[in-house]
Amino acid sequence: MTEAPQHRAVALDDDKDALVILDQTKLPNEVVYLSLTRQEDIRRAIRLLQVRGAPAIGAAAAVGLYLAAKSIDATDNGAFYAQFGAAKDALAATRPTAVNLFRALDRMESVAEAHRSETPVRVKTLLRDEALRVLEEDAAACRAIGEHGLGLLRDGDGILTHCNAGYLATTRYGTALAPIHLGIERGYRFKLFVDETRPLLQGARLTAFELCAAGAETTLICDNTAACVMKNGWVQAVLVGCDRLAANGDACNKIGTSGVAILAKHYGVPFYVCAPTSTIDARAATGEDIPIEQRPPEEITEMWYKERMAPQGVRVYNPAFDVTDHALITGIVTECGVLRPPYGESIRRAAREAAV
């Protein structure tokens, strides 16, 4: 089966010293690639969601830190490592929730620290190789997630998804959408229900864009329509992504995911979280330990409107994520397989397997 073409969300252009990203704030009306060479522009792209999705953020950060190191004009190791550390800290400050960001930066730092006795020129080469490995490993993990997830689905299933966890959120294939993309390539005829995902509309702008481009039967629904389509019996599975997975199986994902999980439990619909093991945060015992990013109020009050749609001075609560309790999750689909309860045990096992 010929693989369907997919846009690349993150790439390295080493010849031009650039991080290349697909600007997701322009979708679905414009497909615009940005070639970012300045560190402030890379950090801004992560903050403003021009590149988004936990795996893609991690990949962008790895490439960004390599480019920061490459630009350091220092032959003295002390000066090199001081500037390298400052660049890492600046990238780490861009987003607080997606653990892939910090994991990728720590990987890059570990490589640099392990070769302190070598020249900065040699360290830069090693950092480039590590950044490319981050991209390659994410693509391989997403492909494996797709294979494992597809085994949970049947031809003709109705599938509901929230936010965007497709190839736009990763380096390739996606997480929650990877089983769908692989199934479409193999002739499966899924019926997709896409939550619009307020307030940033990642479902309407991004997931619908991906699925329509793949030729899937795609129906866009308001977030508050999820209960209706489940009650109608139109949904046989829910697939969502994850930005950080706690040690007990609590899953932090785009705001609104927890509500979808509660509805799925009520209507007896399997609810699957699709996430690479890189999203596991062993230091977070439960979802209560995961920091939740607060986004600007303007995303709700005026971002998508010609005129402001809320009274001046109204208080706004705009968390970017919520935490789905592990008791609501039917299974967690990783590159190592489908994890089942008790999640504390299965997550530890998957983390050990991934580390081998």
Segment 224-241, tens digit of pLDDT: 999 999 999 999 999 999
- For residue 199, cis peptide bond before it (omega within 30 degrees of 0): yes
| Contact between residue 335 and residue 141 where contact means Cβ atoms under 8 Å apart | yes
| Contact between residue 163 and residue 241 where contact means Cβ atoms under 8 Å apart | yes
**163-182 burial: b if 16+ Cβ within 10 Å, else e:** bbbbbbbbbbbbbbbbbbbb
**99-114 vs 54-70: helix crossing angle, rounded to 10:** 30
Cα separation, 301 vs 314, whole angstroms: 9
Q: Which domains does the chain have, with CATH numbers?
A: 10-142 (1.20.120.420), 144-355 (3.40.50.10470)
Residue 129 known to be catalytic: no
Q: The tokens of 103 are what?
A: 């994991």
Residue 296 vs residues 48, 68, 118, 145, 206: alpha-carbon distances, Å? 11, 28, 44, 33, 21
Q: How confident is the model at residue 1, as a pLDDT?
A: 44
Sequence-separated (6 or more) residues with CB below 8 Å from residue 237: 152, 153, 157, 158, 159, 160, 269, 270, 271, 272
| Contact between residue 68 and residue 74 where contact means Cβ atoms under 8 Å apart | no
Strand partners, 274: 333
CB-based burial of residue 232 (10 Å sphere; 0-12 exposed, 13-18 middle, 19+ buried)?
exposed
Q: The tokens of 19 are what?
A: 């991080």
**33-68 burial: b if 16+ Cβ within 10 Å, else e:** ebebeebeebbebbeebbbbbbbbbbbbbbbbbbbb
CB-based burial of residue 76 (10 Å sphere; 0-12 exposed, 13-18 middle, 19+ buried)?
exposed
Quick one: CA dihedral 48, 51, 56, 59, positive or negative?
A: negative
Which of 136, 130, 110 minimizes the C-alpha distance to 8? 136
Q: How confident is the model at residue 336, as a pLDDT?
A: 96
Cα separation, 167 vs 175, whole angstroms: 8
Q: How confident is the model at residue 3, as a pLDDT?
A: 56
* Chain centroid, CA 194 distance in Å: 17
Task: Output DSSP code: residue 4.
Answer: P
Query: Hey, what's the torsion of the CAs at 114, 120, 126, 127, to 10 degrees?
Result: 90
- 138, 243, 250, 281: the catalytic one is 243
* Chain centroid, CA 239 distance in Å: 14
**Over its length of 356 residues, how does the chain's per-residue pLDDT go in tens digits?**
445 557 899 999 999 999 999 999 999 999 999 999 999 999 999 999 999 999 999 999 999 999 999 999 988 899 999 999 999 999 999 999 878 999 999 999 999 999 999 999 999 999 999 999 999 999 999 999 999 999 999 999 999 999 999 999 999 999 999 999 999 999 999 999 999 999 999 999 999 999 999 999 999 999 999 999 999 999 999 999 999 999 999 999 999 999 999 999 999 999 999 999 999 999 999 999 999 999 999 999 999 888 999 999 999 999 999 999 999 999 999 999 999 999 999 999 999 988 77
Task: Output DSSP code: residue 3.
Answer: P
Strand 251-254 and strand 321-324: the pairing is antiparallel
Q: How confident is the model at residue 5, as a pLDDT?
A: 57
Q: How confident is the model at residue 4, as a pLDDT?
A: 53
Residue 320, SS3 per DSSP: coil
Cα separation, 158 vs 285, whole angstroms: 34
